Amino acid sequence: MAELPNTLEEAIAQAREATKAALADGYTRLQVELVFPELKTMPVAQQFLPVFEEQASELKVFFPDTGAAALARRDWGQVPFKIEDLGSSRTPIQGKIKEEDKVFLVVEPSSVEVAQVEQLCNAAGDRPVILLTPRLEDAAIVGIGYAGRQLRDRFIKTLHSCYYIRPLEEAAVFRCYPSQWQVWLETGDEYKLIAEESQKPVGEGLDLIIAKATGAASGTTTDTGNAPKPKKAGLFTGLQRFLKALSQ
């Protein structure tokens, strides 16, 4: 069973191994989610790329827009893979997918690009598509009514989260494939595993897990859909220091 990481580098290393394991088990639509405020994804993507070391010439990396793609080309220099942008919703993504492309990495797609990401996954067929730090479910854009439910039922629910870490005020939600979803609680200077679930614990379900472990009343904890406060001490001290350095 994977343990909570102490640093961002350790989290990325875990994410690489979880992705490899999920791909080996036949999953082809994967999400790698590191839910930290102010996380700069470009350095994360660069550290994540060794996952595709053996398939580098067959890899295509997509960024949300031309600016991000150009920045990656500039900063990464000569690379064995291809770098593209998702384009706009008016531009069919199919023209950017070639027969020689065997695996796709999409870096930080947001709900603005959800239509293009869905087109990419459909066009890729059985070829793997990995979404790195996606932000696809902004209710203000995706919608909370019928259209939003349709999108979730049709596409977002087909995505498999192979790695997820989200520090909360006094807890953390964690998943590292093939392990189940886990909830960890701060106890003194350490974190203790308090629950393992087959589905992602969110909302009231997460509140109940934490309340049961702490003996607190339901509804007093963390995940209401808004961004939670990240840990600033204990296990995540090194991680927060690294994130602060990245954001400067």
pLDDT at site 231: 42
- Three-state DSSP class for residue 8: helix
The domain spanning residue 80 has which CATH number? 3.40.50
**What is d(CA 133, CA 103) in angstroms, rounded to the nearest whole number?**
17
pLDDT in tens, 173-221: 999 999 999 999 988 778 899 999 999 998 899 999 999 988 864 444 4
Residue 6 confidence (pLDDT): 86
What is the domain count for the chain?
1
CA neighbours closer than 13 Å in the CB half-sphere of residue 6: 4
Residue-level pLDDT at 248 = 45
Q: What is the pLDDT of residues 10-25, one digit of tens each?
A: 999 999 999 999 999 9
Q: Residues 40, 86, 60, 126: is their CA dihedral positive or negative?
A: positive
Reference 11, options 240, 229, 248, 239; nearest CA is 239
How much is the pTM?
A: 0.84
* Per-residue pLDDT tens over the stretch 37-94: 888 999 999 999 999 999 999 999 999 999 999 999 999 999 999 999 998 767 778 8
Domain that holds residue 167: 1-248
Partnered with residue 32 across adjacent β-strands are 132, 163
pLDDT digits (tens, 9 = 90+) for 144-155: 565 666 776 788
